[in-house]
Each structure stands twice: as structure tokens, then as C-alpha cells.
């Protein structure tokens, strides 16, 4: 069995990118495949009060694609770990849970799974954004939203939120997930990148909001602090497509932890290949 893994993120329902992904997985047969959120096209989104359309992408493309790949690979089919992202409606969550029983994937938001002596965790939430969909947004470390961003208590949701949105934070969630566990042999699949790194650099240079310069770093402070204190083996991120183009970097070491991003704003598929035994040697292929 191969010992390398693939990681992709922010495919936004682009069928050409998924086809490339299926081809690469089918040919290379990785041990595991990680999908880091923002997986679905905007057409899947169903706003409250708007008659829903059949989510054809899910049932007519994504599901058959993974089924075909599983049939082709048989015992060589990888473990597939996935989360949703802030552009994905949470109303799609039951679809992924329903078909998890087929062995196509493991929906791992706010959950964990043991693989090869490593614990895999997943977490979808991002800090407040300027966008209206709030299914996967949380306050970060306090009830604060950057200028120009819409508070998680506003906007709209496709499902009734868990808990009291006004008082929930990413920081509290991560503390609960970690508990008393020792995390040096863990991988965290996040959608948000950590704050003030090469992975969360947005194209906001020169942008002024209410006469204040916009912060060009838009990742999570809580995730950054969590990595610094807990030191997991590896963290995986997406969300900020342009970050690698601006900084020239898609991976960064934070103390002992390697953080990798698969977000990409080019036409091709950004495919990150890594080994759990040596995450710092990860490569990014554009296919």
C-alpha cells in the first residue's frame, strides 16, 4: 500500500478539476485523500424561502464519480476525509452523512478518525467574512468582526445553527475538540488558514474600509494559537485562493507543525502530495 496522501481544497464544484482529481487518484492510488472544503458549486446553495432545485452536482456528478473510482480501485481505494467550507451550504451535510455508509468518504467535521497511528480531525468554521452565507462562520476568539465583514449573527443560514451563535467561538470549539488529548500525532483538516501566515494573505492591499486599512491577513487567530500551543503533526488549510500567488508559499512551519494549503486561484488543480512520516517534504503539483 502506498504511504503518501493527496490534499485538495476549494474546488467549488468545477467538474474539470474533479475529473483531474479522479484521474490522479486512480493512477497514483494514494493512501488517503483529504478534501478541505468549498467543494460545491454555487448552484447547490438554497436560500431560505427560495424554492430549491435538485442538487444535480451532488447526485449526478460527485456521487457517481466517487462510486466509479471505488469500483475501479477496489482494495486500493483511499481513505477519503472531507469537510465543507464557508461557501458550501450546511443543508448539503445530510447528503455526505447518508453516503458515508458506502465507504466513499468520511465526513469529519467536528469528528476524528484513527489511521496508521495518527488521529485525523476535521473543522469547517472560518472567522467572519464579508459574505452572507453564515452556515460555517464563527466568531474567532471574541465577538468581533473585522471592518467590512458581516457578523455571524447576521446574514442567512440554510440550517438552524448549533448552540448560541452570539457566544460560540472557534477558540472554544478547538479547546473542546482537543480536550486532554496529546496531539503530536494528529492531523487537523481545517478550512480556514492560521492568522498572519503565508497561507492567509488576501489581496486587500490598499483597500480602505471606513477610513481604516483592511487587514490583509484574514485567517483565524484561534487556529494560529491552537497550532502554536498544541503542536499537531500537520494541519491542512484552504479558503484564501490567492495567498500562494501573493506570498509565493503554500506551506509553512509553525514551531514543530507543518501547515499546508491547497487553495489556488489558477485554472488547474492544485494537488498537494505529502507523507505523514515527513510532512515537510510535501510537494504541490498543478495539473
- What the block records as the C-alpha cell of 221 is 487567530
**Nearest CA-CA partner of 118 in 215, 37, 187, 179:** 187
Domains and their CATH numbers in the chain: 4-286 (3.60.21.10)
C-alpha span between 123 and 111 (Å, rounded) = 8
| Residues paired with residue 217 on neighbouring β-strands, in sequence order | 201
SS3 label, residue 120:
strand
Q: Which of 109, 254, 132, 272 is closest to 190 using CA atoms?
A: 109
The Cβ of residue 119 has, within 10 Å, a number of other Cβ atoms equal to 17
Collect all residues with Cβ–Cβ distance below 8 Å to 276 and sequence separation of at least 6: 3, 5, 116, 118, 187, 233, 234
- How do the pLDDT tens digits run along the chain, 287 residues long? 689 999 999 999 999 999 999 999 999 999 999 999 999 998 766 544 444 444 589 999 999 999 999 999 999 999 999 999 999 999 999 999 999 999 999 999 999 999 999 999 999 999 999 999 999 999 999 999 999 999 999 999 999 988 899 999 999 999 999 999 999 999 999 999 999 999 999 999 999 998 889 999 999 999 999 999 999 999 999 999 999 999 999 999 999 999 999 999 999 999 999 999 999 999 999 99
Amino acid at each position: 500500500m502506498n504511504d503518501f496522501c493527496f490534499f485538495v481544497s476549494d474546488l467549488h464544484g468545477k467538474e474539470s478539476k474533479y475529473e483531474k482529481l479522479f484521474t490522479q487518484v486512480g493512477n497514483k492510488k494514494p493512501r488517503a485523500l483529504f478534501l478541505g472544503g468549498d467543494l460545491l458549486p454555487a448552484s447547490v446553495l438554497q436560500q431560505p424561502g427560495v424554492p430549491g432545485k435538485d442538487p444535480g452536482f451532488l447526485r449526478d456528478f460527485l456521487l457517481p464519480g466517487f462510486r466509479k473510482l471505488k469500483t475501479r480501485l477496489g482494495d486500493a481505494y483511499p481513505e477519503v476525509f472531507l469537510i465543507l467550507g464557508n461557501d458550501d451550504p450546511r443543508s448539503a451535510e445530510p447528503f455526505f452523512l447518508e453516503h458515508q455508509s458506502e465507504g466513499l468518504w468520511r465526513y469529519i467535521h467536528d469528528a476524528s478518525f484513527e489511521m496508521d497511528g495518527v488521529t485525523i480531525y476535521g473543522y469547517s468554521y472560518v472567522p467572519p467574512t464579508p459574505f452572507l452565507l453564515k452556515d460555517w462562520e464563527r466568531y474567532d476568539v471574541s465577538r468581533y468582526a473585522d471592518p467590512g465583514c458581516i457578523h455571524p449573527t447576521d446574514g442567512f443560514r440554510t440550517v438552524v445553527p448549533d448552540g448560541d451563535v452570539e457566544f460560540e467561538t472557534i477558540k472554544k470549539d478547538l479547546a473542546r475538540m482537543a480536550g486532554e488529548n496529546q496531539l503530536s500525532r494528529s492531523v487537523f483538516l481545517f478550512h480556514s488558514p492560521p492568522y498572519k501566515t503565508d497561507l492567509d494573505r488576501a489581496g486587500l492591499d490598499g483597500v480602505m474600509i471606513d477610513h481604516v486599512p483592511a487587514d490583509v491577513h484574514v485567517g483565524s487567530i484561534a487556529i494560529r494559537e491552537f497550532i502554536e500551543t498544541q503542536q499537531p503533526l500537520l494541519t491542512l488549510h484552504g479558503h484564501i485562493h490567492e495567498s500562494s500567488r501573493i506570498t509565493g508559499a503554500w506551506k509553512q512551519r509553525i514551531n514543530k507543525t507543518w501547515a499546508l494549503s491547497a487553495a489556488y486561484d489558477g485554472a488547474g488543480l492544485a494537488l498537494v502530495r505529502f507523507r505523514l512520516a515527513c510532512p515537510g517534504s510535501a510537494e504541490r503539483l498543478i495539473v
